[in-house]
Amino acid sequence: EETAAGLIPPGAGLEELRKIASHCTACPLWERGTQTVFGEGLPDARLILVGEQPGDIEDRKGQPFVGPAGRVLDQALERAGIVRSDAYVTNVVKHFKWIALGKRRLHQKPNSREIGACLPWLDAEIALIKPLVLVAMGATAAQALFGSKVQVKRDHGRFLPTDRVPHAMVTTHPSAILRAPTDDERHYALDEFVADLRRVAAVLK
């Protein structure tokens, strides 16, 4: 089964990887997306934040978390005392997967083949950046990095063992906060997200 692993030359740096990833066709998602949305941030960041896949706006701009979910992330990071530009922000899957709904492009969850095909890019990012802390936001990132037994609702906010980095946590996805059905639930979900990120901030101190 094809994955991006075969595209990654030994010894390549982040900028070389970004360039190669821009031509990746390791899974069918490259045909639907406008462009590869590679990670962004400091090459020696102490914190890496991992989402699911670019959204509609990210797909157009070519940068991760610059749409509505990105605004929630920015707000939560600020409340937690984390400077976003000190972090490296990326996604498990680097192309936007969507179906047309009238004129809108509706987000679709990536499947396990697409996640497996794209994961070598994330692993290469992590291996080069060597962050102190990794935060997986939402079920797709959590399960891609920690296995299918991890549940965000149950396991968020604690540090979980992993070989990839010294400290790792799963937390909610900012888009899940946006989807909360009531104002109360949205505020509660955002507060929980901020509380998780404050634990991350404490490790970064």
Q: State the minimum distance, in angstroms, from the CB of residue 55 to ligand URA.
A: 4
Strands of the sheet with 40-41, listed across from one edge = 40-41, 88-91, 47-51, 133-137, 167-171
The only residue of 4, 76, 77, 91 in contact with ligand URA, by rule CB under 6 A: 91
Q: State the minimum distance, in angstroms, from the CB of residue 205 to ligand URA.
A: 27
The only residue of 29, 52, 116, 133 in contact with ligand URA, by rule CB under 6 A: 52
Site string for ligand URA, 167-186 (x = CB under 6 A): --------x-----------
- Greatest C-alpha distance within the chain: 49
Task: Tell the residue number behind the tokens 């976003």, with chain if given.
Answer: 84
The only residue of 33, 39, 54, 131 in contact with ligand URA, by rule CB under 6 A: 54
Q: Return the amino acid letter for 188.
A: Y
- Choose the contact partner of 126 out of ligand URA, ligand SF4, none; CB within 5 to 8 A by kind: none
DSSP state of 92: S
- Choose the contact partner of 69 out of ligand SF4, ligand URA, none; CB within 5 to 8 A by kind: ligand URA
The only residue of 24, 26, 36, 53 in contact with ligand URA, by rule CB under 6 A: 53
Q: Which parts of this chain interact with ligand SF4 (CB under 6 A)?
A: 4, 21, 24-27, 29-30, 36, 93-95, 114, 117-118
- Contact of 152 with 142, CB cutoff 8 Å: yes
From the number of C-beta atoms within 10 Å of its C-beta (0-12, 13-18, 19+), residue 100 rates as: exposed
The residues facing 167 across adjacent strands are 133
Distance, in Å, from the CA atom of 192 to the CA atom of 76, rounded to the nearest integer, reads: 10
Applying CB under 6 A, does 69 fall inside the site for ligand URA? yes
Applying CB under 6 A, does 125 fall inside the site for ligand URA? no
Q: 2 or 153: whose CB is closer to ligand URA?
A: 153
Decide: helix, strand or coil at residue 53: coil
Nearest to 8 by CA among 86, 88, 123: 123
Per CB under 6 A, residues contacting ligand URA are: 51-55, 58, 64-65, 67, 69, 91, 175
